[in-house]
Structure 1
C-alpha cells in the first residue's frame, strides 16, 4: 500500500473527501517527524516509534566493489504493540 492508497482508504473509512484525508495524512506525517526529533512516540496498544543513531560504518559499493565509510545518521525503529500483534495474528 502506498500513500495514495492510504488516502483512499482513510477517505472511505471516515466518509470524507480525499483532499481532507490527504491533508490529515500530511499533517500526521509532519507531527510524527517533528515529535521523533525530540524522542520516542508511544501509541498505546499500537506500537512505539523510537529514533536511534546509527554509527559510522564501513560499506561497499555493489557496482564497483570499492569500500567506503557510511556517515552516521538518525533512523527510526518501530516496535509493534500487543493489540496490533494480536489483531495481525488473529484469523479472519
Structure 2
C-alpha cells in the first residue's frame, strides 16, 4: 500500500483487458490509519477521534438534524409515505409502510472531484 492510506489500487493489466480501478471500501480503521500517518496522532487516539466524529454525526442524524460537511456533502432525513408496491417477481401488490430514510447529497465540489474536474 502506498503512503496515502486512502488510495485506490488497480489490477495489473493483461494484454486482452482494459485496466479498471479495483474498488476498495474505506473503513474506520483506514480513516484512523490516515490520521496516524498524516497528523501523527497515536493509533489509539486516531481510532478514538474517528469514533467520536462518527458518533457525533450519527447522534445528530438520529435527533432529526441535517448534517452538512462543507466541500463534502449533506446527510438529510426524508419521510416516505405509505404506498403500494409490487413484488417484481410475482406482480403481487404489497403495502410499503411509512418510514424515515437517510439521503446523502454530495456537494458540487465533491461531484466535480468525482468527475475528475478541477476548480
Question: Which TM-score applies when normalising by structure 1?
Answer: 0.69
Give the structure with the higher percent strand.
Answer: 1
Are 1:17 and 2:38 matched, yes or no?
no
Which residue pairs with 1:8 in the alignment? Answer: 29
Which residue pairs with 1:90 in the alignment? Answer: 116
Q: CA deviation at 1:6?
A: 1.3
Which residue pairs with 2:78 in the alignment? Answer: 52
Q: C-alpha root-mean-square deviation of aligned residues, in Å?
A: 2.7
Greater relative CO (CA pairs within 8 A, separation 6+) = 1
- The 3 A distance-change label for structure 1 pair 71 and 89 is same
Which residue pairs with 1:30 in the alignment? Answer: 55
Q: CA deviation at 1:49?
A: 0.9
Give the structure with the higher percent helix.
Answer: 1
Higher Rg of the two aligned structures: 2
Q: CA deviation at 1:20?
A: 4.7
- What SS does the corresponding residue of 1:35 show, helix, strand or coil? helix
5+ long unaligned stretches in structure 1: none
Provide the rounded CA distance (Å) in 1 between the counterparts of 2:95 and 2:28.
39
5+ long unaligned stretches in structure 2: 1-23, 37-41
**Deviation per CA, 1:12-57, whole angstroms, max 9, x where unpaired?**
2111427852x44443333223212332111111111111101111
